[in-house]
Every structure is written in C-alpha cells, then in structure tokens.
A and B are shown apart, each in its own frame.
Chain A
Amino acid sequence: MIDAPVLEVEDIGVSFSGRTILDGVSFQIRKGEFTGLIGSNGVGKTTLLRVILGLQRADTGRVRVLGESSGGGRSLGYVPQKVVLDPDIPIRARDLVALGLDAERYGFRRRTKAQRALVDKMLHDVDAERFADARVGSLSGGEQQRVLIAHALISRPKLLLLDEPLANLDPKSVQEIVSLLHRVASDNEVAILLSAHEMNALLPVMDRIVYVTEGRAASGTTDEVVRSEVLSKLYGHHVDVLKLHGRVLVVAEPGAEAPDIPDHPALTIS
C-alpha cells in the first residue's frame, strides 16, 4: 500500500441524455505529481473532476483515491471553476481560508489558537498575507486564486483538484499561480490535477499530462503524449505538434475539422 497511487481512474464513461461526455478515460496519479488535464472547453474536463470528487456518477468504470473507492472525502481538495465572490459581502480572505478547516462541521465550536495559527501559515504559504484582511470579493483574479488554493489546502489533502484556475488571469498571474502550485505541491507532497485549455504555461512544471478530446483521453509524460502520432490517433485525424522556443503548438491540417484544439485561439492555425 505504500506506493499505492493517490488517484486511480479506470475506464470512466459518462453520458448525459444519450450524449457521450467521457468514454473509457483511464489514468493514475502518484504522490506529489503535478498533472495537467488538458483539453479545450466542453470536452468533459469539469465532468471528469466532478466524477473524481464523487459529485457526479459515472456510468462505467471506477475511481479510487488512496486505494479507497468512496468519494475521497477530506483527502481531496478542490478549487472549482466558477467561484463568484461578491465584493459587497464582508468575507475576509482569512475567513474563507479558515472555512477550509471546518466548513462542513455542524454545531458550536470556537476555533483554537492552533487553528488560527494554521490559517496564518496557509496565508503565508500562498503569499496572501498582505490582503488577508481584505474582502475576498474585492481582490484581483490572481489574488482570489491564492485564497481559494489556501482554502483547499488547509485541510491537508493528498490530492488537489483545480478546475481551470488559470482561465481569465493575466499572463503574469498565470506564471505566479503555476509556480506557487509547484512549490506548494513539492513542499507538502500534495499531488495536483489541474485542468486547463492551454498547456504551455504548465510545461515547466508538469510531471504528467492527461490530454482530453471529445471524451477520450491519452495520458503519460508530456513527451510521450504531446506527439503527432498519439494526438492524431486521439483526434481521429492528422494533427501536427510543433515545438518552438520551448512552446508547443498543436496544429490541425488545413481544412480538417479542428474545433477543439486546446491552445490559444491565436496560435491555432487552420
């Protein structure tokens, strides 16, 4: 059991009213690994994350977290995609982080000194101290991501799932969040599964990639997966993989139908 994978996803299939969302998706994540879940919008990334969290039932296959097949509970941390925090509501960053400790607990209990110290430490770990007492809703997108990451990490999960945390961030914030996640993951031995529609920002830190298109997935190291043969097979038509100055471009043939190539639209040549 010592080397049991943190997460095992086996042959997951999901369909909604006859439409196939995921079809035979399998991969594993080991302790402390940084995995990118890459695919364009609408290919089923969020559905897959929700299946792993136990918020969505799969029609086929199974998910095991730390060898256990039940939901995962507190060994999973999650940063959802659509978190809208209202600036008119007085919730400080530190309040949201503290709720990460015990939000699901009913009953009266004051937080202990040790818990408050832990909140301070988390805020420090994600470089959020300087806005710890500001209203979360009034923070910038990158600042909010830090707070949400601290909220998810404070309960010491073994696996952190993040749904498109880099979407809508400016390039500098993207860099900061990626290196923050990389640092936090290796410091605390937390495995990370991060979904994104753009992989280039993640190339320096990704140990593995799960590349999803139209419900099917290929997984492995970036070098194993992001190759013309593998991706062409996955897409069902020919795509080229170009590497330029440490960046990767996935390019469809002219005329080929390529609606879901997960890169910046400006980089996708058609």
Chain B
Amino acid sequence: MHLLFESGFFSSEPVHTAVVIGAVAAIVSAIVGTFTVVRSQSFAGHALTDVATTGGSGAFLLGLSPLAGFIGGGIVVGGAMELIGVERARVRDVATGIVLGAATGLSALFLYLDTTRSATTGATQQILFGSIFSIDQSIVPLVVILSAATLVIVGAIYRPLFLSSVSPELASARGIRLRFVGLLFMFALAVSVGLSSLATGSILSTALLIGPAATALRLARSLRTAMVLACIFGIVATWLGILFAYDSAYWDPSSQGLPVSFFIVAIIVLLYLASGLSVVRRFAGRRDGGEAILGAVPSASPDATPDATAAI
C-alpha cells in the first residue's frame, strides 16, 4: 500500500532535482517576498513575472536556457522601472500596468513563434506554468549560486531596506539613499521571480513570492519571525506540491499526473486562508489586560484603532 509516497518517489532523479530547486526557490521567494509585501510591491512583483515570461519565451526562441531569460528580463526591466523612479503612487501603478501589458503582449508573440518554429509543443506550458520535473539537473549549482547571491544582497541592505520599507520618511531623514536601496531590492526581486518561475512557471511565481510571505506576516510578531515562517510555508507548499503531483499520476492510470504548480498554489492559498482565523482571534483578544498594569503611568484612552489617520 502506498498511502502517501507512491513507488519510485525517493529514487526518482527528477524528483530530487525538483525538491532541491523547489526548496531553494521557496526560501528566496519567502525572504524577498516578505519585503515585497511590506513595501506594497506585489503588483511590481507581478509585472516582473510577466517580464520573466517574455524573457523566458524569448530565450526559448533563441535556444537559450529559460532561466537566463526569466532572470535577464526581470533585471533589465525591473532596474529600468526603479531608475525611472516614479514617485507618485498612481503614476507608478499605471506605469507598472503598462509594462505588464507590453510584456505579456510580447510573450504572446514569442510563445506563438516558439510553438510554430520548434518541434516542441510544451513551450507554452513550460514557460507559463513550469515543469519542475523536467529541469535539467546541471543547472542546480547555478540556481543555488544565484539564490545565495540574492540572499547576500538582501542581507547586506537589511537594515536600510527594513527602515525604508516601514517608513520612507524616517529612512530619508537618516540619510538612507532610498533609490539605491530600492534598486538593489528590485534586482533581488527579479532574480527571485526568475527562480520561482522555474518551479511554478512564470505566471504563478507571484503566488510563491506573495502567498507564504503574506501568510507569515499575519502570524508573526517580528519581521525576522515572519521570514522564517514564510520559508517554512514555502517549502511545505512546494514539497507537498511535488509529492501530490508525483502521486497524482497513480490516481488515474490513464493520466500523466496533474501539474505541480496547481498543487503548490492550492496549498499556499489554503495556508493563507487558514491564517485568517488567527487574525480574527488576535483582534478579538487584543490588548487584554494591557491597561491593568498601568497604574502609575497616566495613559491616553486605550485607543486601539489603527492610527493611519491620526499620524498624518
């Protein structure tokens, strides 16, 4: 009886590669994703996934590794977006939307050419939705090096990035160069999106970037805990996704198994929904007994409402 692990799971080479790539992509996405959510750059992150699609399909057309396209496209366009540096939120929102549309349009062309000019029919599926079981084992070292480099960048700018993400005003008052920090972060984001494009496909890499981080941010008390939790959620989602996808080929002997990306995203969404329960509980029990210890300290009315308006 194979209740959980179908035969051959642990001895399969593609599974080994998938497990390593999945974990690495999940870790980088978790760390970068935490800052992406805190900086409200989810939309920019998603635009980068579309640029990654363009890069990936373009690379396919030129006979290059999709990874080169995924990451190259993101770095060039992400860097350009950050350097243009639109400050006003609405203009930036629109600019991101335009980039997203243009990138997707180009992808449509490239993917069409990919499928008509080459004999491979799987290009569209592979670029958009990933094919973690068909990754060439030889790129594993490259993936690991790129991931390490990304984490080193984020680590090196950790504190300036932290403060400028929490409050740009406080950061610039301390002489932190917001543009410089933002540009380095955009590079990290582009690489992260490229890596997770390998695992879940470019279209779904937003899910791996944002989902685990957003879930962790709901639960954690500090940013550091949030990043650790996001790593755990990301790895759990990718590994379970790989397992279910592998097993699914056995559920129905006539099929070739369901896509990994579907399972990964489904688990991420379920984790996010489950984390909502804890938020409900926290708001219900917020600041219980907090005022009891005050005694000597005269305090303002225990006004627990979020202070976005009062701080203006």
Contact = CB atoms under 8 A, between A and B. Distances in A.
Interface of A: 53, 55, 71, 73, 78, 80, 82-92, 95-96, 99, 102-108, 127, 130-131, 133-135, 137-144, 148, 151, 168-170, 172-173, 176
Contact of B171 (A85, A92, A103, A143): A103
B160 A106 contact: yes
B175 interface: yes
A106 to B, nearest CB: 6
A143 B222 CA distance: 18
Contacts of A142: 300
B167 A84 contact: yes
B223 interface: yes
- Which of A91, A131, A148 has its CB near the most chain B CB atoms (within 10 A)? A91
B88 to A, nearest CB: 15
Interface stretch (B15-23, B255-263, B304-312): B304-312
Contacts of B305: 140
A233 B120 CA distance: 84
A146 B41 CA distance: 29
Given A106-B157, A141-B303, A170-B301, 5 more contacts: A78-B174, A104-B175, A140-B300, A140-B305, A151-B170
B277 interface: no
Contacts of A134: 287
A144 B311 contact: yes
A133 to B, nearest CB: 7
| Pairs A-B, 3 closest by C-beta atoms | A141-B310, A103-B163, A87-B306
Q: Chain A's interface: helix, strand, loop or mixed, by majority?
A: loop
Nearest to B293: A130
- Which of B38, B162, B218, B311 has its CB near the most chain A CB atoms (within 10 A)? B311
Contacts of B166: 85-86, 89, 91, 96, 99
B176 A103 contact: yes
Interface of B: 38, 155-160, 162-163, 166-167, 169-176, 217-218, 220-223, 225-226, 286-287, 290, 293-294, 297-298, 300-312
Contact of B163 (A90, A99, A135, A138): A99
A90 B222 contact: yes
B169 A82 contact: yes
A173 B225 CA distance: 32
A80 B304 contact: no
Contacts of B159: 99, 102-106
Contacts of A90: 217, 220-223, 225-226
A85 B311 contact: yes
A203 to B, nearest CB: 20
B290 A173 contact: no
A41 to B, nearest CB: 12
B173 A80 contact: yes
B307 A139 contact: yes
12 contacts: A86-B166, A90-B222, A90-B226, A99-B166, A103-B162, A105-B159, A106-B159, A137-B306, A138-B307, A141-B300, A173-B300, A176-B300
B306 A172 contact: no
A67 to B, nearest CB: 20
Given A103-B174, A151-B170, A133 B221 contact: yes
A160 B58 CA distance: 55
A149 B301 CA distance: 20
B312 A84 contact: yes
